[in-house]
């Protein structure tokens, strides 16, 4: 019963595997730069080794650290459009307006959604930055069509045909299909607008950031053969009844005679008043362009540094004792971030310094809370700030229990720091999963783990097992014990590499053994536990050299105290960052080597009858 419930809850047997939502699989910038080359569909835009992800539930956007492109991107789930919200694409360092700010390999992200602030680990600048988010708003033209008193009305597919061709579903939408969806529509159907004299489109536009200068982006398309004269490319723009220009020119969007319709954007900046503004586009001649979308951007947001002087190196030795001034501290390639939004505490994986540090955003101070040991001790149960971390990369925070999870990448472990006083003494560190040794079964081995993410609904911790090309998950319940109903206890053997006796192993808690293995792995292997070395040689259908292998043969089992069995959720090449849409149960994963972001449905296969495990 318990096993089937676990498989159904996690959705490891999902019928549809991962699906790309951003990136073409080829490295590059493509798509969009900030405010000069406007946004394009995410699935048709190139990325450059994306790393950190953050999901903004209220705005239904996925924020992406496009690392090699040195920019922060935003993917809008409703329209499927990807835009750059900060950075120019050039590497360097500069604070200020997001359109001119410079980054140098941005990696980890942490979102303060209530305050619309995104924190960015700027790895090669050895700083942590804050981006004030100021998302634009989309207005569909087909919902705002007007006529200037003439009978020339909207030319548009409608009724059952529109429902058939343009209905949005989980698998058919601008997000998933890009311009292949409904001929590139981001709304509910096709539309041709402002074709005749004095035809117009009216938009009721909200000044979301108060009075100021906003950028209006009009998206349009036409066919080359329909362009007959320059006068057909001009529209009149009015805002609140006042003419902004009589000559808003639209260059042909098609590339040549007979070519398919292509989308282009026409941008203009103008002042908007606080509240609702009436924006009108009106035909001044005949045969204007087909406009289907208006995107309104508020005034340019800012980028500021919240921690780091830019110097590479260790912080002051006092950083282990008392908080230091954040603006003058040193970092060494910071990567993962985790935010306690209520307390305004930002946790930072100071990777090359082997530390986790806590930044008090209100006080502007920082100190080390884990790592800092000179030796290579991996003792569990000791004070975290006296323990050893080796290149920590990803962080995940459990605010309800006071736990911080860390991917200790070079040690090939996932560690847990107890930030509170219970059940261990405050600030202790233990190993949650990952043996760190090649003698262990595949379920206990990690290779260069990166992003970690806590799913509080299912109580699972997801781990991007980058080197193995796997998405792993482990039960994060602190009270978990080996399930007695699975079978009789196996004979536990002495594990010399760990120097842990059988008695100590049993006393320390749930041990690693076949009896503690809950779900099997859906990665081509028939059974959990030990397996031949040649069982798994492919990742995403491609041969791996050398192959990913397992410990072979034998009846002995090594005992690893307090280490939990991991299972494979999916097979992906070099997964990095993770983000969760908990409402829709969608997991987003960045793939640095494949230059894309994909999503996985976590709940496909969930039991259909609540409380009845037999219906799974």
Listing from the earlier edge strand, what are the strands of the sheet with 290-297?
A: 137-140, 290-297, 212-222, 262-272
- Whether residue 233 has pLDDT greater than 90: no
Q: What is the pLDDT of residues 58-70, one digit of tens each?
A: 999 999 999 999 9
**pLDDT number for residue 395:** 98
Q: What is the pLDDT of residues 419-476, one digit of tens each?
A: 874 333 347 887 888 876 665 667 678 899 999 999 988 889 999 999 989 999 988 8
Q: Which of 103, 141, 99 is closest to 119 using CA atoms? A: 103
**pLDDT number for residue 16:** 43
- Whether residue 511 has pLDDT greater than 50: no
Alpha carbons 193 and 195: distance in angstroms, whole number: 6
**pLDDT number for residue 202:** 84
Q: What is the DSSP string of 47-58?
A: BSSEEEEEEETT
Alpha carbons 383 and 393: distance in angstroms, whole number: 20
Please say whether the beta carbons of 369 and 427 come within 8 A.
yes
pLDDT > 90: percent of the chain = 39
Average pLDDT over residues 220-234: 60
Bond from prior residue into 607 cis (ω within 30 degrees of 0): no
Q: What is the pLDDT of residues 345-376, one digit of tens each?
A: 999 999 999 999 999 999 999 999 988 776 65
- Whether residue 478 has pLDDT greater than 60: yes
Q: Tell me how far the alpha carbon of residue 339 is from its chain's centroid.
A: 15
- Whether residue 331 has pLDDT greater than 90: yes
Give CA angle at 177 (173, 183), nearest 5°: 85
- Whether residue 262 has pLDDT greater than 80: no
Q: Which of 24, 21, 88, 93 is closest to 55 using CA atoms? A: 21
546-558: burial string, b at 16+ Cβ within 10 Å, e else? eebbbbeeeeebb
**pLDDT number for residue 235:** 86
- Whether residue 149 has pLDDT greater than 90: no
Per-residue pLDDT band for 540 (boundaries 50, 70, 90) equals very low
Which of residues 111 and 194 earns the better pLDDT score? 111
- 113-127, 207-221, 442-456: which is most confident: 113-127
Bond from prior residue into 54 cis (ω within 30 degrees of 0): no
Which of residues 121 and 548 earns the better pLDDT score? 121
Q: 195-209, 470-484, 494-508: which has the minimum mean pLDDT?
A: 494-508
Alpha carbons 121 and 101: distance in angstroms, whole number: 14
Which of residues 113 and 290 earns the better pLDDT score? 113
- Whether residue 615 has pLDDT greater than 70: no
Average pLDDT over residues 389-397: 93
**pLDDT number for residue 288:** 67
Give CA angle at 552 (547, 558), nearest 5°: 120
Q: What are residue 182's phi and psi, to 5 degrees?
A: 50, 45
Q: Which of 507, 377, 506, 358 is closest to 429 using CA atoms? A: 377
- Whether residue 8 has pLDDT greater than 50: no
Alpha carbons 584 and 414: distance in angstroms, whole number: 27
Structure tokens at 37: 């080359």
Structure tokens at 363: 């006080």
- Whether residue 137 has pLDDT greater than 80: yes
Strands (E), 259-398: 262-272, 275-283, 290-297, 302-307, 324-325, 334-340, 345-350, 355-360, 365-371, 382-383, 392-398
Average pLDDT over residues 31-44: 62
Q: What is the DSSP string of 455-491?
A: ETTTTEEEEEETTTTEEEEEE--TT----GGG-SPPP
Q: What is the pLDDT of residues 152-175, one digit of tens each?
A: 333 332 333 344 456 667 677 888
- The per-residue pLDDT of the chain, averaged, comes to 75
- Distance from the first to the final alpha carbon of the chain: 10
Average pLDDT over residues 37-62: 90
The beta-carbon contacts of 206-209 under 8 Å, at least 24 apart in sequence, are: 206/137, 206/275, 206/276, 206/277, 206/296, 207/272, 207/273, 207/274, 207/275, 207/276, 207/277, 207/298, 208/134, 208/137, 208/296, 208/298, 209/134, 209/298, 209/299
| 3-state DSSP of 432-456 | EECCCCCCCCHHHCCCCEEEEEEEC
Which of residues 35 and 453 earns the better pLDDT score? 453
- Whether residue 303 has pLDDT greater than 50: yes
Q: What is the DSSP string of 234-287?
A: EEEEEETTEEEEEEEE----S-STTPPPEEEEEEEEEEE-SEEEEEEEEESSS-
Q: SS3 for 392?
A: strand
**pLDDT number for residue 272:** 97
Average pLDDT over residues 398-419: 90
**pLDDT number for residue 196:** 61
Please say whether the beta carbons of 511 and 524 come within 8 A.
no
How many CA atoms, within 13 angstroms, populate the side-chain half-sphere of residue 310? 7
Give CA angle at 601 (598, 603), nearest 5°: 160
- 258-262, 273-277, 523-527, 551-555: which is most confident: 273-277
H/E element, 405: strand 403-408
User: Residue 610: how many CB atoms within 10 A of its CB?
Assistant: 7
**pLDDT number for residue 553:** 32
| pTM recorded for the entire structure | 0.82
| 3-state DSSP of 2-43 | HHHHHHHHHCCCCCCCCEEEECCCCECCCCCCCCCCCCEEHH
- DSSP 8-state assignment for residue 106: E
Structural domains of the chain sorted by starting position, each given as residue range(s) with its CATH number in brackets: 16-134 (2.120.10.30), 136-146+195-252+261-299 (2.60.120.260), 308-468+470-479+546-570 (2.40.10.500)
């Amino acid at each position: 019963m318990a096993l089937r419930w676990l498989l159904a809850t996690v959705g490891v047997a999902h019928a549809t595997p991962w699906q790309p939502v951003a990136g073409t699989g080829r490295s590059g910038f493509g798509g969009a730069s900030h405010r000069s080359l406007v946004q394009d569909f995410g699935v048709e835009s190139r990325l450059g080794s994306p790393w950190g992800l953050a999901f903004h539930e209220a705005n239904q956007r996925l924020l992406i650290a496009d690392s090699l492109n040195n920019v922060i991107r935003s993917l809008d789930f409703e329209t499927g459009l990807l835009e750059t919200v900060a950075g120019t694409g050039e590497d360097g360092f500069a604070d200020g307006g997001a359109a001119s700010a410079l980054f140098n390999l941005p990696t980890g992200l942490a979102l303060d959604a209530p305050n619309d602030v995104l924190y960015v680990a700027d790895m090669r600048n050895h700083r942590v930055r804050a981006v004030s988010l100021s998302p634009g708003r989309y207005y569909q033209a087909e919902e705002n069509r007007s006529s200037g008193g003439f009978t020339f009305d909207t030319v548009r597919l409608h009724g059952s045909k529109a429902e058939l061709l343009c209905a949005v579903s989980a698998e058919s939408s601008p997000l998933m299909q890009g311009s292949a969806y409904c001929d590139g529509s981001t709304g509910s159907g096709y539309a041709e607008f402002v074709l005749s004299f004095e035809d117009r489109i009216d938009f009721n536009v909200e000044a979301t950031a108060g009075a100021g200068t906003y950028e209006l982006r009009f998206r349009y398309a036409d066919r080359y053969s329909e362009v007959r004269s320059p006068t057909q490319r001009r529209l009149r723009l009015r805002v609140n009844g006042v003419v902004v220009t009589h000559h808003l020119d639209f260059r042909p969007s098609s590339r040549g005679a007979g070519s398919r319709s292509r989308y282009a954007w026409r941008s203009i900046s103008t002042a908007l008043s606080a509240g609702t503004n009436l924006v009108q586009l009106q035909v001044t001649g005949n045969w204007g362009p087909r406009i289907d979308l208006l995107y309104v951007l508020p005034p340019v947001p800012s980028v500021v540094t919240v921690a780091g002087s830019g110097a590479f190196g260790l912080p002051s030795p006092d950083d282990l004792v008392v908080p230091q001034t954040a603006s003058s501290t040193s970092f060494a390639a910071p990567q993962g971030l985790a935010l306690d939004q209520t307390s305004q505490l930002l946790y930072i994986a100071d990777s090359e310094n082997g530390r986790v540090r806590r930044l008090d955003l209100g006080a502007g101070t920082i100190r080390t809370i884990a790592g800092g040991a000179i030796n290579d001790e991996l003792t569990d149960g000791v004070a975290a700030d006296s323990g050893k971390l080796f290149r920590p990369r990803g962080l995940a925070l459990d605010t309800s229990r006071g736990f911080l999870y860390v991917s200790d990448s070079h040690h090939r472990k996932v560690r847990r720091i107890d930030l509170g006083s219970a059940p261990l003494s405050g600030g202790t560190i233990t190993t949650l999963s990952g043996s760190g040794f090649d003698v262990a079964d595949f379920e206990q081995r990690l290779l260069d783990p990166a992003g970690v993410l806590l799913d509080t609904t299912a109580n699972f911790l997801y781990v991007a097992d980058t080197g193995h090309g796997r998405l792993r998950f482990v039960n994060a319940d602190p009270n978990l014990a080996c399930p007695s109903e699975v079978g009789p206890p196996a004979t536990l053997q002495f594990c010399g590499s760990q120097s842990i006796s059988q008695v100590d192993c049993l006393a320390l808690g749930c041990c690693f053994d076949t009896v503690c293995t809950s779900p099997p792995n859906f990665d081509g292997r028939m059974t959990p536990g030990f397996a031949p070395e040649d069982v798994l040689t492919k990742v995403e259908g491609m041969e791996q050299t050398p192959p990913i292998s397992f410990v072979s043969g034998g009846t002995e089992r090594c005992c690893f105290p307090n280490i939990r069995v991991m299972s494979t959720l999916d097979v992906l090449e070099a997964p990095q960052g993770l983000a969760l849409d908990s409402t829709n149960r969608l997991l987003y994963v960045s793939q640095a080597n494949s230059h894309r972001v994909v999503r996985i449905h976590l709940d496909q296969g969930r039991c259909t009858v609540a409380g009845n495990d037999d219906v799974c």
